[in-house]
Amino acid sequence: MLQSSTRIVAAALAFLVTTAMSSSAVAAVPGVKVGVGGGAEAGSVRGAEAPLVIAHRGAAQHAPENTLAAVDAAHRRGLVWVENDVQRTKDGKLVVIHDTTLNRTTDVEKVFPGRAPWRVGDFTAAEIARLDAGSWFGERFAGERVPTLADYLRRLDQNGQRLLLEIKAPRRYPGIEAQILRELRRRGWLDRAHVQGRLVVQSFCARCIKTVHELAPQVRTGILGAPRMDKLARYARFTDQINPRLSAISSRWVEAVHRLRGAHGRPLEIYAWDVGEDGSARAASMRRIEGVIA
């Protein structure tokens, strides 16, 4: 019976991750955890439920990544948590985009042909606002823009969604940790309701996450990657999650993470990323991973 249940959960999660099912389809699949809070709000889920699904860059299978259209697509599919990437423009504005260059997901080469290599930090917010960030994905998204962090937060609040925010390439943008926190505070995202159940800030840069914790200790944080086990206890002092590539971890590593308590006194959580169909089944069968970013 246990093996059968595990297979059902694994298959359901794999289907959700690879197709970003509609909300009606989600409701029909038992064991898939969407549309609910993470461990900090709902309590530990290890050993009891399938992993929480966080929409990577929004519902990126159905809309251009990291756009407001992707946020809305996730919302329509019942995905409450979304993940995004934040960088800074030349004139100091915060924008939501994954790559440190603009040419993969916008028409920057056409609009600004002489500005190679088209780094985000080499353009002003007004220049980036001119770019089409949707046509590369599909004609019906023509005219979609690279959102500012302020616009993105506003849409999440309108939809009642929650945010896993990645500080992208922070070494390119000195002081961005404090700037992001100021913007979150300005938009109401550092109030009690948001920090307890609607916000996690993560980065590959452990030093940056330590800075976030020092500046705003109430905010839940995550470190991306799979640090060596001898580093975990040190990181647990200022983080709540360790969020690795799924293929990089083992059951032994998962157990080592879960033996530790994080910055807010709860067991460290694991939100794994780079999850394909096979990885989804593996995550579900482990039953000790709290979330998948997919």
Write out pLDDT tens, residues 34-65.
544 444 343 333 444 678 999 999 999 999 99
Residues 265-285 have a mean pLDDT of: 74
Active-site residue, selected from the candidate residues 56, 75, 213, 258: 56
Question: Based on the structure, what is the number of domains in the chain?
Answer: 1
Confidence class for position 282, pLDDT limits 50, 70, 90: low
List beta partners, residue 144. none
**Residue 125 resides in a domain:** no
Give the structural domain span for 273. 2-100+146-293
Q: What average pLDDT score do residues 133-161 get?
A: 98
Tell me if 197 is assigned to some domain. Answer: yes
56 assigned to active site: yes
DSSP 22: -
User: Average of pLDDT values for 104-110?
Assistant: 98
Residues 79 and 106 sit within 8 Å (Cβ to Cβ): no
- 274 Cβ contact partners less than 8 Å away, ≥ 6 residues apart: 245, 246, 247
75 is annotated as an active-site residue: no
Q: Does some domain include residue 123?
A: no
Instruction: State the Cα–Cα distance between residues 294 and 280, nearest whole angstrom.
Output: 9
Instruction: Let me know if residue 133 belongs to a domain.
Output: no
Domain containing 167 — which CATH number? 3.20.20.190
200 in a structural domain = yes
62, 75, 98, 258: which one is catalytic?
Answer: 98
For residue 128, is it within any domain?
no
For residue 129, being part of any structural domain is answered with no
**Is residue 14 a part of any domain in this protein?**
yes
* DSSP at 33: B
